[in-house]
Structure 1
Amino acid sequence: MARLQEDLYGVLTGDDEGRVCRDIPEAACDEQPGNFSAHLFSLALTKIGDGLSDPKIILAWLLQALGAPAFMAGFLVPIREAGALLPQLFIAAYIRSLRRRKFVWAAGSAVQGAAVLGMGVSGLFLKGAWAGISILVLLAVFALARSACSVAYKDVLGKTVTKSARGTVTGTANSLAAGAVLLFGVALASGFLERSFTAVLGALFLAGLLWLTAAITFLRLKEVPGASEGGRNAFDVALSQIGLLKSDAPLRQFILARAFLMASALSPPFLLMLAPEEGETFGALGAFISASALAGFLSSYVWGRLSDRSSRKVLFLAGLLTALSLGLAYAAHTYGHVLGDTGFLLPFWLFVLMIAHQGVRLGRSTHIVDMANEETRAAYTALSNTIIGLLLAAGGVFGLLAAIAGPAAVVLIFALMGAAGALSALRMKEVQRD
C-alpha cells in the first residue's frame, strides 16, 4: 500500500523521493504520499456523493416525484447554500482552537452521510408534504455538518499537504467525481441503468455510504497538532467592518453584482419544474445530471484561466450566460404553442446555466482575493459572505412565488437578475490590471 501511495503521489505531482515540502510542518513532510492519498480519495468520495444527491437536480426531482408542494423545491438551494455558509461565520474560531481538526471533518462527513441516507429512507416511506418536510430538515442538518467540514478542511489541507500539491489533489478529486457522476447521468438517460424510482433512491443511499467511507478514510491522515490561538469569527469581523459598505465603493459594487448573480445557483430547481410531467421523466433526469456534470468538467479550468486575466469580465460573461439560458428557457416554455415542442432543449439550457454558475463561482472568488490586500482581505471576505449568506437564507421566497405565479415567472425573474449581475460586473474595478 505504501508503495502504491508513493507511485500515485509521484505520478500526480511530478515529485520524487527527494521531495521538498513547502508551508507545512516538517514532521508532516515524510507523510506526504499517505496524506495525499487520504485527501484524494476522501474528497473524491464526497464529491461523487454531492453529484448523486445534488439539491439543484436530484432532490428537486425527488420532491416532485414524491408529490411534495411545489414551493418546497424553492427552499432546497437556500437551505443548502446558506446553511453551509452562515454557520461558518460563527464556528470558525472554535474549530481553529482545536489542535487536530481532522476529527471535525470526519465527524461532519459522517453526519452528512447519515443525513443523505435519511433522505433515501424518507423517499421510501413518506409522500407529499411530509416527505418534503423530512428532506428539507435533513438537508438543513447536512448543511450544518458541511459548514463545519468546510472550516476544518482548509486548515487540515494547509497542515498535511505541501503548497505545491494542494491544487493537484483538489483538482484531481473534482475530475474523478465529475467523471463518475457523468457516467451515472448517461447510464440513466440512455436506459443502461434501469429507469426507476428505486434507481434514484439507490443513488442517494450510495451517496450516503460514500460520505461514511470518506469519514473513515480521512481519519487515516497523519495530522500534527497545530496552532490553536488567535482565531476570530468572521461575523465579528463583519460587524466591526460594516462601515466599509459606505466608504468602499469597489466592495459595494462587488457585493451588488454577487447578489444578482445568485440567480445561477438558485434557478436550477425552477428550470427543472418547466419540464413536461409526462413522458420519459427518468431519461430527462439523467440528461439533467449529465448536463450539470459535463458543464463543471469542461468549464472550470477555462473560467479559472480567464479569471486570472480579468475576473470582472468573467462575471460579466457568466451573468450574460445566466440571462441567456434562463431567458430562452422561459420563452420556449411560455410560447411553446408558437415555437413547437422545445422541452427537449431544457437539459441544454441547464448545461449553459451550469457553465455560467462555474464562472460565477470562480470569478467571484478570484475577484475578491485580487481586489483586497493583506490588511483588507479578511474584512472583505467576512462582510461579503455575511451579506450573501443572509440573502441566500431569504431565497426561499422564490419557492413561495413559484407556488403563486408559477415556476416560469420565477425563471424570468432570475433571467433578469442575471442580466443585472452582468451590468453590475461591468461597473466593477479591473483588479487584475497592474
Structure 2
Amino acid sequence: MSSQPAAPEPLISLYETIAGDEDARVCRDIPADACHAQPVNFFVHLVSNTLSKIGDELASARLVLAWMLGALGAPAAFAGFLVPIRESGSLLPQLFVAAAIRRQPVRKWFWVLGSVGQGLAVALMAVVALTLEGAAAGWAILALLVLFALARGVNSVAAKDVLGKTIAKRRRGTVMGYAASAAGLATLGLGLYLTLANLEQAGVGLFAALLATAAGVWWLSAAVFAGLHEQPGATEGGGNAVAEAMRSLGLLWSDREFGHFVLTRALLMSTALALPFYVLLAEAATSGSFVTLGLLILATGLASAVSAPIWGRASDRSSRQVLILSGLIAGLLGIGLATASWSGMAPALDGWVYAVLFFVLGVSHAGVRLGRKTYLVDMATQQTRAAFTAVSNTVIGALLLVGGLFGLLAQLAGTEFAILVLALFSLAGAASAWRMPEV
C-alpha cells in the first residue's frame, strides 16, 4: 500500500488532461510511491517553477538590474559584470555542491533553501536601491548578486535531481514547458508595462518595487515546493566535496555519451550569447528607441509563452531532435541577419522587424534550454543525475566566462561578425546533436 496520500480526483483529472493521453499515470522509471504522488508533484513542480521563472524576469540582470544601476548613478563598468556573475556564479560552484546534496536522501529542502536565498538577496537589493547611490550601490549589488548566484546554483542541482525522482520520464519536458510558458505570459505583461511606462522619468522606487515583488515570488515558490512528496533516494557519491568534484569531472571522458552531450550543450550556448548582439544591432538601427527595447522584452515573453509547451512535448518525444532543430533555427537566422546587415539592409529595418528576429531567436533558445534539460535528466540515472548536472553546469559556467571574448570580437570586427561566428557555432551544435543517441 502506498505511503503517499491520495490526490483529489479533480486534480488527477486535470493532470491527466494536461499530460495529454490515456497512460498519463503510467510511470516508467520512478518508484510506485512516487508514481502515486505524481499528480500532486506535477502541479507542485509546475507552480513553483513558474513562480521562480517570474522572479527571474522581475530581477533580470540584463534589464532591471542594469537599468537600476544607471538610475542610481553607478559607473557603467558595473553593468558589464551583471550577466557573467549571475550565470557563471550560479554554475561554477555546482560541482562541489552536488556532493553535499548527494549525502541527503531527501533533496527538496536544498531547492527550498536556494529559493529562500535568492529571495533574500533580491530583497536586500531593493534596500540598496532605496539607500545607496553611485559606486557604493554598484559594489553592493554585485556582492548581493554573487550570493544570489550561489543560491541559484544550489537550486539548479537539486531541481533536476528531484524532478528525476518525482516525475516520470515522459512527463518532465511537459511540466517544464508549461512552467516556461506561464512565466513567458508574465514577461509579456512586464514588457507591456515597461513599454508604456516612462522609465526615464521613473524614480528608483519602481526598481525597488520590482525587486521586492521578486523576493516575495521566490519565497512563495519555496513554500509551494516544500509540499512536494519526495521519496528518500540513494546517497552514494556524497563524500568529500573536492574529491567527488574531481572524480565527477572524469565523467567527461569515461562516459562518452555524457561527454558528447556536454560538447553539444557548449556549442548551443551560442544561442544565449547571441541575444545581446541582436539587441546591439537593433539599438543602432533604431537610434536607441526605448519603444524598440520594450518590443524586444515583449518578444522574449511571447517566444517563451508560445514555444515552450511545444518544445516541452517535443522534448518528451525526442529531446535530441529538439536540440537539432533549435540549433538550425539559430544558425540560419544569424547567418541571414549578418548577411542582411553587411548588404546594407539592416539600418532600414524598424523596431518591429527586430522584435520578430528576436522572437525567432528566443524560440530557438527556449528549445535549446528545454531540450538539453530533458535530455540530461532522461540520460542520467538516479545515481548519476546530480553528478551529470553539476559537471555539465560547471563546464558551461567556465565557458561562459570565456564567452565574454565575443564582446571583444564584436568591438574589433563588428557586431555582425560576432553574430555570424555564433551562428556557425549553433550549426555545429545542431550537427553534434544529430550524432547523439536517442535516450
Query: TM over 0.5, yes or no?
Result: yes
Correspondence for 1:296: 304
Per-residue CA deviation, residues 187-234 of structure 1 (Å, 9 max, x unaligned), is 332459998354444222211110011112222334343332345777
Correspondence for 1:417: 422
Q: Which residue, out of 103, 120, 133, partners 2:139?
A: 133
In the alignment, residue 327 of structure 1 is paired with which amino acid? A
Q: Which residue, out of 323, 327, 331, partners 2:338?
A: 327
SS in structure 2 at match of 1:108? helix
In the alignment, residue 150 of structure 2 is paired with which amino acid? L
C-alpha distance 228-256 of structure 1, shift in aligned 2 (>3 A): closer
Q: Which residue, out of 13, 16, 23, partners 1:13?
A: 16
C-alpha distance 323-342 of structure 1, shift in aligned 2 (>3 A): same
1:378, distance to aligned residue in structure 2 (A): 9.1
C-alpha distance 161-111 of structure 1, shift in aligned 2 (>3 A): same
What TM-score does the superposition give when structure 2 sets the normalisation length? 0.76
- Conserved in 2, the CA contact under 8 Å of 1:85 and 1:147? yes
1:38, distance to aligned residue in structure 2 (A): 3.1
1:206 and 2:217 matched? no
Alignment of 1:340-359 (within 5 A): 340=348, 342=350, 345-359=353-367
C-alpha distance in 1, partners of 2:176/2:124?
A: 28
- Conserved in 2, the CA contact under 8 Å of 1:74 and 1:270? no
SS in structure 2 at match of 1:122? helix
- Conserved in 2, the CA contact under 8 Å of 1:44 and 1:174? yes
C-alpha distance 6-61 of structure 1, shift in aligned 2 (>3 A): farther
For structure 1, which segment, 376-385 or 159-168, has the greater mean C-alpha deviation from structure 2 after superposition?
Answer: 376-385
Alignment of 1:366-377 (within 5 A): none
- Conserved in 1, the CA contact under 8 Å of 2:324 and 2:434? no
Per-residue CA deviation, residues 61-83 of structure 1 (Å, 9 max, x unaligned), is 43444444444444333222222
Q: Which residue, out of 303, 328, 333, partners 1:317?
A: 328
C-alpha distance 164-369 of structure 1, shift in aligned 2 (>3 A): closer
SS in structure 1 at match of 2:192? helix
1:97, distance to aligned residue in structure 2 (A): 1.0
1:287 and 2:295 matched? yes
- Conserved in 2, the CA contact under 8 Å of 1:295 and 1:355? yes
Unaligned runs of 5+ in 2: none
Alignment of 1:95-110 (within 5 A): 95-110=101-116
C-alpha distance 318-77 of structure 1, shift in aligned 2 (>3 A): farther
1:394 and 2:402 matched? yes
1:145, distance to aligned residue in structure 2 (A): 0.7
C-alpha distance in 2, partners of 1:200/1:191?
A: 13
SS in structure 2 at match of 1:225? coil
C-alpha distance in 1, partners of 2:72/2:279?
A: 15
What number of residue pairs does the alignment pair up?
A: 422
Correspondence for 2:270: 263
C-alpha distance in 2, partners of 1:370/1:30?
A: 20
C-alpha distance in 2, partners of 1:77/1:392?
A: 10
For structure 1, which segment, 94-103 or 196-205, has the greater mean C-alpha deviation from structure 2 after superposition?
Answer: 196-205
Correspondence for 1:215: 222
Q: CA RMSD in A?
A: 4.5
Alignment of 1:173-192 (within 5 A): 173-191=179-197
- Conserved in 2, the CA contact under 8 Å of 1:78 and 1:266? no
Per-residue CA deviation, residues 65-120 of structure 1 (Å, 9 max, x unaligned), is 44444444443332222222222211112112113222211111011011122233
SS in structure 2 at match of 1:146? helix
C-alpha distance in 1, partners of 2:89/2:372?
A: 20
- Conserved in 2, the CA contact under 8 Å of 1:60 and 1:76? yes
SS in structure 2 at match of 1:80? helix
SS in structure 2 at match of 1:223? coil
For structure 1, which segment, 46-55 or 419-428, has the greater mean C-alpha deviation from structure 2 after superposition?
Answer: 419-428
Correspondence for 2:148: 142
1:51 and 2:62 matched? no
C-alpha distance in 2, partners of 1:149/1:410?
A: 34
C-alpha distance 74-345 of structure 1, shift in aligned 2 (>3 A): farther
C-alpha distance 286-5 of structure 1, shift in aligned 2 (>3 A): farther
C-alpha distance 413-74 of structure 1, shift in aligned 2 (>3 A): farther
- Conserved in 2, the CA contact under 8 Å of 1:325 and 1:350? no
Unaligned runs of 5+ in 1: none
C-alpha distance in 1, partners of 2:207/2:293?
A: 9
C-alpha distance 229-297 of structure 1, shift in aligned 2 (>3 A): same
C-alpha distance 133-154 of structure 1, shift in aligned 2 (>3 A): same
- Conserved in 1, the CA contact under 8 Å of 2:178 and 2:308? no
SS in structure 1 at match of 2:160? helix
Q: Which residue, out of 420, 430, 434, partners 2:435?
A: 430
Q: Which residue, out of 230, 240, 246, partners 2:250?
A: 240
Identity %: 43
What TM-score does the superposition give when structure 1 sets the normalisation length? 0.77
SS in structure 1 at match of 2:435? coil
- Conserved in 1, the CA contact under 8 Å of 2:59 and 2:211? yes
SS in structure 1 at match of 2:81? helix
1:62 and 2:72 matched? no
In the alignment, residue 230 of structure 2 is paired with which amino acid? E
For structure 1, which segment, 302-311 or 342-351, has the greater mean C-alpha deviation from structure 2 after superposition?
Answer: 302-311
SS in structure 1 at match of 2:245? helix
In the alignment, residue 205 of structure 1 is paired with which amino acid? A
C-alpha distance 301-175 of structure 1, shift in aligned 2 (>3 A): closer
C-alpha distance 67-271 of structure 1, shift in aligned 2 (>3 A): farther
C-alpha distance in 2, partners of 1:344/1:58?
A: 22
- Conserved in 2, the CA contact under 8 Å of 1:113 and 1:207? yes
C-alpha distance in 1, partners of 2:259/2:169?
A: 32
C-alpha distance in 2, partners of 1:377/1:95?
A: 11
C-alpha distance 113-331 of structure 1, shift in aligned 2 (>3 A): farther
